[in-house]
Chains A and B, each alone.
Chain A
Amino acid sequence: MSAEELLLRAENAWHPVASESDLVHRHVFHGQLLGQELALWRADDEHINVWENRCLHRGVRLSIAVNDGRELKCQYHGWRYANRTAACTYIPAHPADAPARTIRNGTYPVRTSGGMVWTAVGQPTGEPPALGQGLVLRPVPVRARPADVITLLLEQPPALPDAQPPTAKRRGDLVVELESVGFLVVQPMDSDRAVIRGVLSSQGPAGERLRILRHFDAALTRLRDTAQDRAADEAAPAPLLPRYEPVPKHLASLPESSGHHDLPTRVRVVRTWSAGAGVRGLELGPVDDRPLPTGQAGAHLDVALPGGLVRQYSLVNGPGETHHYVIGVKLTPGSAGGSAAVHERVREGDVLAVSLPRNGFPLRRDRTRTLLIAGGIGITPLLAMAQTLEHQRLSYALHYFAAGEADVAFRERLAALGSVRTVTGLDPAATEAELERLLGAAGEDSQVYFCGPPPMLDVARDVAGRTGWPRDSVHFEYFRNDRTLDHSSRFEVVLARSVLNLTVEPGRSILETVRAAGVGVPSSCEQGACGTCRVAVIDGRPDHQDVYLDDEERAAGDSVMTCVSRSLTPRLTLDL
């Protein structure tokens, strides 16, 4: 059997990874098996845990975590994982929220035999070999192929002090029995690293214990030197790759906890002005000395307007512009009245309630070049991004599509930017041709952000697909959802964390149904455009009716916009 075959078979077998005595009180042992790093720890109830050696949050090794006897606490952000289940019990950054039950670290099966802790990275069959309870030797790490170490042990079996070398017999792939002496086991750490572990069948006379241990330690150390000398003559095999499952994004964070339209901030309307044809600019300042919560480029605010409507507006603020919020509102004739309320009823000096800034359209700054394409009032978040990129001297180009010269808003801010082009008066066909030209000419490592009216974004989505843009380089923000919604279905939602089963009636949304049962879900636009009410789906197939998720996210079916989307299956299980 080749060394490679041996490693393949080792996947689904039990291996020792520590001595039982290694797992002392309140310690985390750092182990490795077949390329997979392990964190081993004994809880105060004596349960031995063998876990993947990483915190689910940021991947920091749990072998440096704090073992408090019941849980491991990650050194980095303090995420806690429970004895036995490895379920996350607390996330300090979300002190008010219960971590989802689905946030669990990877665990491995555990057995003990011969004073050693055994585990397996694959699906082991049977049980580890019974090696009895004898004298456990000091393990000796070796930089050589596990198969070669076994060969050497069979070739040169170590003897008891003042005795002839024992007969060595192979018992399974990586176990050697030293007849009437004990067992040696080779732990395959990696393709080119192993640990020789051993247990003698008898404890020996009490006064001899240390002498015997030292004798075998010296013998195994000599064998290690021989194995490493032999390995030095050969090319080292490629190390095994660890098998880490990527952590789903929705499990690595929690939704913000808030009630229906949580509007904690009071702002005073400091100034209003005409920022362009039909666009009213609003500067919103703090009502007291306390600074306003900071938004990033791309963020929006929910604003409670006179008349009781709550609407979302993107922040126009540039970087460091933290003493006020600036928004721009386009008067839309025939709308439900949000824009009319801003234009006709908000006056300077008024106090308004607004949400914390939320960002469903964050600006990545890890690409060589950023293309910003705005249509009409969609300029607002892209203007914030352009100011950020300009300030950080990152390469970008802002293309602003407007109906006419008079419609161009926020001219003063645009004038301060180095790379702006306004495009006016194009009909839909010409707009499409221009988008095609812009997207076709983009270089390597570019990204593009679009914000504008839904018809333009639908065209932009098609063009980006045709011109071969990778999905993760194209970002859209819709400011409304123009799709025709179908509320007619009736289905059951199962709230896994709250342990509730609810029926969603035709004409009601999941969001309304869940809230009526007392379960809070944050929301903002409530038309499937902003992404605030996104909830993870555990089981069932969502009927997506939003414009926030992209095609791949829809196909994945692991999250749903609860304000408009419904279910294709009779039952939808949500992480709530």
Chain B
Amino acid sequence: MITLYDDETSAECHQVRALLGVLGLDFRSVALEEYDTDTDSGRPALVLADDRADPPAVLHDASSALLYLARIYDHDERLLPHDEPAKFAAILDWLAFARALTACAGAARRHESFGDPLDLLPAQQEAHRLLRVMDRHLWFQEQQHEDFLAGGFTLADIACFGDVALCEEGGVSRLDYPAVRRWCDRVKRVPGFPLMSGIFPTAAGLPS
């Protein structure tokens, strides 16, 4: 069984829930506070424990959990294609981009919603800069009839989605990023992709 030590309000945990959902994997969700840590290491943002593996595999970070789950359970390699180097490289870059989003848009949201300490304005400005980059990228993707960040739906979309979809809770409006707003709709329509508090359902898309 896979166990996710989970915080339902966390965009990082949402990344892992989203991948588990898209892969259709059963998992047990346990409140993150239940996870024992020693005082020095502090509490991680999430913990993924997979005791289908022997000895069990344990991960303490959203990106590493995504890479792990994709490598072990995405059998047809759609979410992280190894044999397409350019696409593989782009996805890894988007994973880094997602971490940058967490550090600004995610931090602004945790500051505004949960009171975590932060110098808010620079974080919001950085979030806008990243959203501009994303919006331009996605607009040109649309011009080439591509719906997602790196061609088809991949780990890149899963990693970036949560902090983008929740950024307005951190005072970062998506008004200026229409291509990002359309991408959010498309990601939410991926079968198995979960919602969370603050991420609202969208209408079903065109019947394909």
A interface residue numbers (CB < 8 A to B): 18, 21-22, 24-27, 29-32, 64, 66-69, 75, 138-139, 141, 209-210, 213-214, 217
Asked whether B203 lies within 8 Å of A22 as measured between CB atoms, the reply is no
Residue of B nearest to A210 (CB): B143
CA of A32 to CA of B178 in the docked complex: distance in angstroms? 12
CA distance A18 to B181 in the complex (A): 13
- State how many angstroms separate the Cβ of B85 from the closest Cβ of chain A: 23
Complex contact A27–B200 (CB within 8 A): no
Report the nearest B residue to A19, measured CB to CB. Answer: B178
Cα(A209)–Cα(B206), bound, Å: 27
* Chain B neighbourhood of A209, CB < 8 A: 143
Structural contact, A25 and B205, CB atoms closer than 8 A: yes
User: Which A residues touch B144, using CB under 8 A?
Assistant: 210
Least distance between A144 CB and chain B CB atoms (Å): 13
Q: Are A66 and B136 in contact (CB under 8 A)?
A: no
* Bound: A21/B205 CA distance, A: 16
Interface mask (B156-189 → A, CB under 8 Å = 1, otherwise 0): 0000000000000000001110100110010000
What residues of chain B lie closer than 8 Å to A31, measured between beta carbons?
175
Does B204 count as interface, using CB distance less than 8 angstroms? yes
Q: How large is the interface on B (under 10, 10 to 19, 20 to 34, 35 or more residues)?
A: 20 to 34
Binary per-residue interface labels of chain B (134-168) against chain A in the complex, 1 for a CB within 8 Å, 0 otherwise: 00100110111000000000000000000000000
B202 interfacial contact with A, CB 8 Å: yes
B181 — nearest CB in chain A belongs to which residue? A30
Complex CA distance for A109 and B126, rounded to whole angstroms: 36
Q: Which of A18, A24, A30, A75 touches B174 (beta carbons < 8 Å)?
A: A30
Which 5 pairs from chain A and chain B are nearest by CB?
A26-B203, A141-B176, A66-B203, A75-B200, A67-B203
Docked-complex contact A32 and B143, CB < 8 angstroms: no
Contact of B140 among A27, A66, A139, A214 (CB under 8 A): A214
CB atoms of B175 and A27 under 8 A apart:
no
Pairwise interchain contact A213-B143, C-beta atoms closer than 8 A: yes
Chain B residues in the interface with A (C-beta under 8 A): 136, 139-140, 142-144, 174-176, 178, 181-182, 185, 200-206
A64 to chain B: which residues have CB within 8 Å?
200
Alpha-carbon distance A68/B204, docked complex (angstroms):
8
State how many angstroms separate the Cβ of A21 from the closest Cβ of chain B.
Answer: 8
Across the interface, A29 reaches (CB within 8 A) one of B181, B203, B204, B205, namely B181
Given A18-B178, A32-B175, A141-B176: A26 and B202 within 8 A (CB)? yes
In the complex, which residues of chain B have a beta carbon less than 8 angstroms from the beta carbon of A21? 142
Cα A25 to Cα B144 with chains together (Å): 17
**Which of B139, B143, B174, B182 contacts A27, CB < 8 Å?**
B182
| Closest chain B residue to A142, Cβ basis | B176
Decide if B136 touches A69 in the complex (CB within 8 Å): no
Name the distance in Å between A220's Cβ and chain B's nearest Cβ: 11
Q: Is the CB of B178 within 8 A of A29?
A: yes
Once bound together, how far apart are the Cα atoms of A24 and B178, in whole Å? 11
CB contacts (< 8 Å) of B175 on chain A: these are 30-32
Give the complex CA separation of A438 and B199 in angstroms.
52
| Chain A residues whose C-beta falls within 8 Å of the C-beta of B204 in the assembled complex | 26
**Residue in A25, A30, A66, A68 whose beta carbon sits within 8 Å of that of B178 in the complex:** A30
* A66 to B201 CA separation, bound complex (whole angstroms): 7
User: In the assembled complex, which residues on chain B have CB atoms less than 8 Å from the CB atom of A214?
Assistant: 140
List of B residues within 8 angstroms of A138 by Cβ: 136, 139-140
* A contact residues around B139 at 8 Å (CB): 138
CB distance from A229 to the nearest CB of B (A): 15
Chain A residue numbers with a CB within 8 Å of B203 are 26, 66-69
Q: Which residues in A have their C-beta under 8 angstroms from that of B185? A: 26-27
Chain B residue numbers with a CB within 8 Å of A67 are: 203
What are 10 A-B interface contacts by the 8 Å CB criterion?
Answer: A18-B178, A21-B142, A24-B182, A25-B206, A26-B205, A26-B206, A27-B202, A138-B140, A213-B140, A217-B136
Give the Cβ gap from A73 to chain B, nearest Cβ, in Å: 8
From A64, A75, A138, name the one whose CB has the most chain B CB atoms within 10 angstroms. A138
Enumerate chain B residues within 8 angstroms of A27, measured Cβ to Cβ.
181-182, 185, 202
CB of B158 to closest CB in A, whole Å: 21
Closest to A18 in B: B178
Chain A residue nearest in CB terms to B189? A26
Residue of B136, B178, B206 with most chain A CB atoms under a 10 A cut-off: B178
Closest CB-CB distance, B185 to chain A, in whole Å?
5
Partner of B202, one of A18, A22, A66, A69: A66
Q: How far is the CA of A139 from the CA of B201 in the complex (A)?
A: 27
A210 x B140 contact (CB < 8 A): yes
Chain B nearest CB, measured from A242 CB (Å): 13
Inter-chain CA distance A18–B178, complex, in Å, is 9
- Distance to closest chain A CB from B125 (angstroms): 11
CA distance A210 to B142 in the complex (A): 11
B143: which A residues are within 8 A, CB to CB? 209-210, 213
Q: How far is the CA of A26 from the CA of B204 in the complex (A)?
A: 7
Docked pose: A21 CA to B203 CA in angstroms: 18
Determine the distance from Cα of A26 to Cα of B203 in the docked complex, in whole angstroms. Answer: 6
Please name all residues of chain B whose beta carbon is closer than 8 Å to the beta carbon of A18 when the two chains form the complex: 178
Q: Which residue of A lies closest to B203 (CB)?
A: A26
Chain A neighbourhood of B140, CB < 8 A: 138, 210, 213-214
Q: Please, how many angstroms separate the alpha-carbon atoms of A120 and B129 in the complex?
A: 30
In the bound complex, CA of A25 to CA of B202 (Å): 11
Q: How far is the CB of A27 from chain B (nearest CB, A)?
A: 5
Return the chain B residue nearest A75 by Cβ: B200
Which chain B residue shows the least CB distance to A22? Answer: B178
- Min CB distance A429 to B, Å, is 58
Q: Tell me, in angstroms, the Cα distance from A25 to B136 when the chains sit together.
A: 20
Q: Most chain-B Cβ atoms within 10 A of its Cβ — which of A22, A68, A75, A214?
A: A22
Q: 7 extra interchain contacts, Cβ-Cβ under 8 A, other than A22-B178, A27-B185, A75-B201?
A: A21-B142, A27-B182, A66-B203, A69-B203, A138-B139, A138-B140, A141-B176
